[in-house]
């Protein structure tokens, strides 16, 4: 089959250009391939560049020298070459063998044909190669699909998704990131093969899913392909269509969640927190005699569920802990008064208070217009928060103007009592009834200590 060829005017990074030229100087073919070419053609700067070559791994090592080569994935033909001080993955053209378990080819074999290499790739838009002179080599009509913003498997979708079910999730991830439409047969097959996602390792699922939820178009993908996501997130199933019977809400639980997703900044922590913030609502529903729905205790129930989900998907501890906290706290009031700002800072720390503000803002923005005044309250809270940080107001032991030794100096013996006096002092500082200044703190400590004698 002949390939389509177009030209792009794009300056490759020096280390990539040198690497391609060096390989071709030794008589091998070498191209940038995959995501980087796709990104260049849609005007996005690639985050990393993968290089594919006709040279066998040992030939790559012979060209660049052992000192500059790391056999990072040699069994799959990948050598990491340090070019101009930058590590670049260079992979030999290859054909994947049969897939026995819808996730790993049981063997790979090398080939000298670029065409064969690109045919093993997942989507036509990821099957493009770019040479150092700017020629795009296109065996699968990827350029045309990219122009139409269409995601289509290379070859028969049934076969390609059976070989590796992760491609279903990768496809949805690309749609969520770039707003690609999914070609009809590819889309239908994603849904038909959805259950094979349970054959994948949770690590691979989470890696793709966490990128997917950060996509600009994640809400429409989550809506359109809902049943695919229920395969590894069965907990979301009751959310769809769950009416809230509450004047503050115009959406069911799922649509409210999707709306809120679009309002929150695109980080994994924030997006996951918003995705799960109301996941426990269906379980907590009670219809009052007045016909109004209530969901008492849902933040806690949702937090327990989020914790279980993120453990199951093996998300890293830091992400999980922050998400769980944000879900649990999403309904706590953030009153726009300094005392409340200091309390929340003492309770959660600055970073998490700022994240909580984002979650609450997104949540409230996805309520009915009746809740709009609460958004301006959050802005006022944020202004006070900035002020508290700027003035370095005290909200933790470490920023108190005295320490344990000062208290011992007053004759208070080290131990539980000393700890509780310190806690009381901090509380009074936070409440604004005590100045964070050494003399006042010592006087107050002495008074508390004497009172308790
Ligand atoms: P990103 O921009 O997120 O890195 P990407 O398409 O570059 O997206 P990578 O995981 O870096 O994704 O993969 C590089 C290339 O390898 C892809 O563009 C595609 O050609 C091929 N590829 C990756 N994973 C698969 C897969 N599961 N099946 C077939 N081809 C794949
Ligand atoms: Mg990539």
pLDDT recorded at residue 392: 82
pLDDT recorded at residue 244: 80
pLDDT beyond 90 at 285: no
pLDDT recorded at residue 327: 98
Identify the band that residue 2 occupies on the pLDDT scale cut at 50, 70 and 90: low
Q: Could you report the per-residue pLDDT of 336-374, keeping only the tens digit for each?
A: 999 899 999 999 999 999 999 999 999 999 987 777 788
Backbone angles phi, psi at 144, to 5 degrees: -65, -45
| pLDDT (mean) for 406-422 | 92
Class of domain 4-146 (CATH, top level): alpha beta
Fold of the CATH domain 397-451: Serum Albumin; Chain A, Domain 1 (1.10.246)
> How many CA atoms lie less than 13 Å away from 50 in the CB half-sphere?
19
Closest CA to 294 of 278, 309, 307, 281: 281
Nearest residue CA, atom 2 of ligand 1?
35
Cα(10)–Cα(131) distance, integer angstroms:
11
Contact 370/247 with Cβ under 8 angstroms? yes
pLDDT recorded at residue 249: 79
> Can you tell me which atom of ligand 1 is nearest the CA of 118?
20
For the chain, the residue count is 453
- Using a 10 angstrom Cβ sphere, with 0-12 exposed, 13-18 middle and 19 or more buried, the burial of residue 376 is exposed
pLDDT beyond 60 at 100: no
Reduced to 3 states, what is the DSSP secondary structure of residue 230? helix
DSSP string, 172-202: HHHHHHH--EE-HHHHHHHHHTGGGGGGS-H
pLDDT recorded at residue 396: 87
Query: For a substitution probing ligand 1, which of 40, 44, 93, 170 has the most ligand atoms within 8 Å of its CB?
Result: 170
Contact 230/237 with Cβ under 8 angstroms? yes
Q: Could you report the per-residue pLDDT of 117-158, keeping only the tens digit for each?
A: 999 999 999 999 999 999 999 999 999 999 999 999 999 999
Which range is least confidently modeled, 101-110, 251-260, 314-323, 442-451?
A: 101-110
Could you tell me whether strands 150-151 and 181-182 are parallel, antiparallel, or unpaired per DSSP bridges?
Answer: parallel
| pLDDT (mean) for 161-189 | 97
pLDDT recorded at residue 103: 59
Query: How many CB atoms are closer than 10 A to CB 409?
Result: 11
pLDDT beyond 70 at 305: yes
Residue 150 Cα distances to 181, 239, 414, angstroms: 5, 30, 69
> Can you tell me which atom of ligand 1 is nearest the CA of 166?
27
Torsion of CA 374, 359, 265, 304, to 10 degrees: -160
**Ligand 1 binding pocket includes 342 (Cβ within 6 Å):** no
pLDDT recorded at residue 106: 65
Spatial CB neighbours of 10, under 8 Å, sequence gap ≥ 6: 40, 130, 134
3-state secondary structure string across 30-64: EEEECHHHHHHHCCCCCCCCEEEECCCHHHHHHHH
Nearest residue CA, atom 6 of ligand 1?
35
pLDDT beyond 80 at 99: no
Closest CA to 24 of 63, 61, 76: 63
Query: How many CB atoms are closer than 10 A to CB 379?
Result: 12
Q: Could you report the per-residue pLDDT of 377-400, keeping only the tens digit for each?
A: 999 999 999 999 998 888 888 889
Backbone angles phi, psi at 73, to 5 degrees: -145, 50
Cα(268)–Cα(214) distance, integer angstroms:
6
Q: What is the pTM (predicted TM-score) of this model?
A: 0.91
Could you tell me whether strands 86-92 and 50-53 are parallel, antiparallel, or unpaired per DSSP bridges?
Answer: parallel
- Using a 10 angstrom Cβ sphere, with 0-12 exposed, 13-18 middle and 19 or more buried, the burial of residue 5 is exposed
Structure tokens at 344: 């929340």
pLDDT beyond 80 at 5: no
**Ligand 1 binding pocket includes 96 (Cβ within 6 Å):** no
Backbone angles phi, psi at 133, to 5 degrees: -90, 10
> How many CA atoms lie less than 13 Å away from 219 in the CB half-sphere?
15
Query: How many CB atoms are closer than 10 A to CB 359?
Result: 22
Cα(129)–Cα(32) distance, integer angstroms:
6
Q: Return the ligand number nearest the Cα of 178.
A: 1
**Ligand 1 binding pocket includes 122 (Cβ within 6 Å):** yes
**First and final C-alpha spacing in the chain:** 93
| pLDDT (mean) for 404-413 | 92
Question: Chain-wide mean pLDDT for the chain?
Answer: 94
pLDDT recorded at residue 102: 61
Structure tokens at 342: 């200091």
Percent of the chain with pLDDT over 70: 97
Cα(167)–Cα(173) distance, integer angstroms:
9
Q: Could you report the per-residue pLDDT of 204-220, keeping only the tens digit for each?
A: 999 999 999 999 999 99
Fold of the CATH domain 151-232: Hydrophobic Seed Protein (1.10.110)
**Ligand 1 binding pocket includes 208 (Cβ within 6 Å):** no
Domain ranges across the chain:
4-146, 151-232, 262-390, 397-451
Query: For a substitution probing ligand 1, which of 126, 152, 167, 177 has the most ligand atoms within 8 Å of its CB?
Result: 126
| pLDDT (mean) for 425-445 | 92
Query: How many CB atoms are closer than 10 A to CB 440?
Result: 16
Q: Could you report the per-residue pLDDT of 27-60, keeping only the tens digit for each?
A: 999 999 999 999 999 999 999 999 999 999 999 9
């Amino acid at each position: 089959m002949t390939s389509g060829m177009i030209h792009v005017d794009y300056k490759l990074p020096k280390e990539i250009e040198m690497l391609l030229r060096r390989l071709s100087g030794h008589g091998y073919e070498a191209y940038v391939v995959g995501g980087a070419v796709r990104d260049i053609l849609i005007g996005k700067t690639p985050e990393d560049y993968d290089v594919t070559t006709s040279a066998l791994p040992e030939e790559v090592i012979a060209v660049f020298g052992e000192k500059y080569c790391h056999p990072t994935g040699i069994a799959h033909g990948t050598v990491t070459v340090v070019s101009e001080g930058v590590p670049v993955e260079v992979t030999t053209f290859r054909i994947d063998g049969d897939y026995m378990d819808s996730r790993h080819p049981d063997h790979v074999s090398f080939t000298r044909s670029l065409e064969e290499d690109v045919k093993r790739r997942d989507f036509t838009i990821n099957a493009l190669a770019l040479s150092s002179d700017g020629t795009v080599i296109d065996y699968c009509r990827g350029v045309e699909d990219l122009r139409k913003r269409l995601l289509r498997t290379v070859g028969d979708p049934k076969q390609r998704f059976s070989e590796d079910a992760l491609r279903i999730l990768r496809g949805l991830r690309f749609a969520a990131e770039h707003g690609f439409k999914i070609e009809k047969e590819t889309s239908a097959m994603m849904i038909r093969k959805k259950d094979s996602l349970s054959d994948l390792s949770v690590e691979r699922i989470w890696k793709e899913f966490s990128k997917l939820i950060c996509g600009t178009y994640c809400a429409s993908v989550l809506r359109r392909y809902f049943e695919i996501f229920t395969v590894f997130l069965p907990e979301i199933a009751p959310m769809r269509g769950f009416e809230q019977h509450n004047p503050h809400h115009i959406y069911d639980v799922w649509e409210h969640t999707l709306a809120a997703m679009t309002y929150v900044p695109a980080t994994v922590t924030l997006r996951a927190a918003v995705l799960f913030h109301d996941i426990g609502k269906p379980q907590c529903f009670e219809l009052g005699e007045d016909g109004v729905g209530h969901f008492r205790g849902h933040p806690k129930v949702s937090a327990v569920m989020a914790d279980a989900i993120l453990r199951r998907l093996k998300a890293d501890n830091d992400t999980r802990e922050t998400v769980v906290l944000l879900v649990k706290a999403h309904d706590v009031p953030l009153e726009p008064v300094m005392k409340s700002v200091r309390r929340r800072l003492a309770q959660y720390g600055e970073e998490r208070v700022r994240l909580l503000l984002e979650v609450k803002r997104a949540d409230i923005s996805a309520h009915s217009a009746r809740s709009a005044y609460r958004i301006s309250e959050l802005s006022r809270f944020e202004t006070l928060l900035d002020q508290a940080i700027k003035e370095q107001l005290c909200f933790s032991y470490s920023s108190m103007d005295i320490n344990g030794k000062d208290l011992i100096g007053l004759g208070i013996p080290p131990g539980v009592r000393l700890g509780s006096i310190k806690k009381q002092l901090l509380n009074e500082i936070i409440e604004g009834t005590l100045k964070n200044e050494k003399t006042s703190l010592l006087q107050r400590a002495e008074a508390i200590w004497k009172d308790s004698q």
